[in-house]
């Protein structure tokens, strides 16, 4: 058992400040346990969003000592306890209260991404055939739990607040899952370049670093999408060969 001091941001959309709390930390505790303990012992009105406590619902996203993390998956034993542990809400989204932020912008962005559009069925019974290898590639993206930690750490949103121009890594992963799907025939490349501005991503890989599901966001989703956009808009050679190919067929 150790007495640990926490600095937790308390406030609302009107403003707020950090408040110090001390609580006993026992073996096996995660940050969310400590926050719940503080809530029970010192601050009954402390707002924190949580649900599964198993790293699968993506609710308890916050910043622990400046690192975007799921509080339920951050062990107290992995944090230096000789100094105050600083917990604050995600910075890319407006605060509702204390550690709870309004992430609804993400749902609005998701709605404007063109939906899955499969090719006509392969068989008369209305079914399709897919190779496991082809679907494995996009399966990684389906692991996303929408915790929005990648959106939080993305400096385009966090630092430059370009929410109205850039969709962020979470939605690039979502787009990649659709765009690379072996059945999908929808074209999202023009949107990616012109309205969602994939070019704002300067591939610093912060999103990959914070992903609790270890999705290789930058290398497997964003860069392949950037390459597809380059094929379409920036590579005259590829465009020339495509014309030739079309001419032959």
Partner 1 sequence: MEPSNILFEKRGFGQTSRQDLWWVRPGLIFLALSSFIVYATWAAFQGEHYAYGAYLSPFYSPEIFGSSPHSWFGPKPGWWPLFLPFSPALLILWAPGGMRFTCYYYRGAYYKSFWADPPSCAVSEPRKKYWGENSFPLIMQNIHRYFLYLAILFVFILAYDAWKALWFIDPVSGNETFGLGVGSLVLATNAVLLGGYTFGCHSFRHLVGGFKNQLSKSPIKKTAYNCASCLNRRHMNWAWFSLFWVAFSDFYVRMCSMGIFMDWRIF
Judged by the rule CB under 8 A, the positions of this chain that interact with partner 1 are 11, 13, 15-16, 63, 65-68, 80, 83, 86, 88-89, 91-95, 102, 105, 131, 133-134, 137, 153, 155-156, 158-164, 180-182, 184, 197, 199-206, 209-210, 218-219, 223-224, 227-228, 230-231, 234-235, 237
Pairing of strands 100-101, 95-97: antiparallel
Give the shortest CB-88-to-partner 1 separation in angstroms.
7
DSSP three-state, residue 164: coil
A 10 A CB-CB count for 53 gives 17
Task: Decide whether 56 or 182 has the Cβ nearer to partner 1.
Answer: 182
Beta bridge partners, 4, equal 23
By the 8 A CB rule, do 8 and 46 touch? Answer: yes
Task: Decide whether 7 or 37 has the Cβ nearer to partner 1.
Answer: 7
Give the shortest CB-209-to-partner 1 separation in angstroms.
6
Task: Decide whether 41 or 78 has the Cβ nearer to partner 1.
Answer: 78
Alpha helices in the chain (DSSP H): 31-41, 104-112, 132-139, 149-153, 155-158, 169-179, 189-194, 206-210, 223-233, 236-248
Give the shortest CB-237-to-partner 1 separation in angstroms.
8
Give the shortest CB-40-to-partner 1 separation in angstroms.
25
Distance between CA atoms of residues 196 and 229, nearest Å: 12
Task: Decide whether 19 or 197 has the Cβ nearer to partner 1.
Answer: 197
Task: Decide whether 56 or 67 has the Cβ nearer to partner 1.
Answer: 67
Residue located via tokens 């370009």: 162
Give the shortest CB-104-to-partner 1 separation in angstroms.
9
């Amino acid at each position: 058992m150790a007495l640990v001091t926490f600095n937790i941001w308390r406030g609302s959309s009107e403003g707020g400040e950090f408040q110090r709390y001390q609580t006993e930390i026992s073996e096996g505790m995660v940050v969310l346990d400590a926050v719940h303990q503080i809530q029970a012992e010192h601050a009954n009105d402390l707002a924190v969003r949580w649900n599964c406590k198993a790293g699968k619902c993506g609710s308890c996203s916050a910043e622990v000592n400046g690192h975007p993390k799921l509080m339920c998956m951050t062990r107290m034993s992995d944090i230096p306890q000789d100094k105050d542990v600083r917990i604050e809400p995600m910075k890319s989204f407006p605060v509702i209260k204390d550690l709870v932020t309004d992430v609804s912008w993400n749902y609005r962005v998701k709605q404007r991404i063109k939906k899955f559009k499969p090719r006509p069925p392969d068989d008369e019974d209305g079914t399709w055939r897919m190779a496991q290898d082809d679907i494995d590639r996009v399966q990684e993206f389906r692991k996303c739990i929408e915790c929005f930690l990648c959106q939080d750490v993305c400096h385009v949103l966090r630092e430059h607040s370009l929410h109205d121009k850039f969709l962020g890594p979470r939605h690039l992963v979502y787009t990649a899952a659709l765009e690379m799907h072996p059945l999908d025939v929808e074209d999202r490349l023009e949107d990616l370049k012109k309205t969602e501005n994939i070019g704002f991503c300067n591939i610093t890989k912060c999103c990959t670093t914070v992903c609790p599901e270890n999705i290789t966001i930058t290398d497997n989703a964003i860069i392949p999408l950037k390459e597809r956009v380059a094929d379409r808009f920036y590579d005259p050679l590829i465009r020339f060969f495509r014309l030739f190919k079309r001419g032959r067929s």
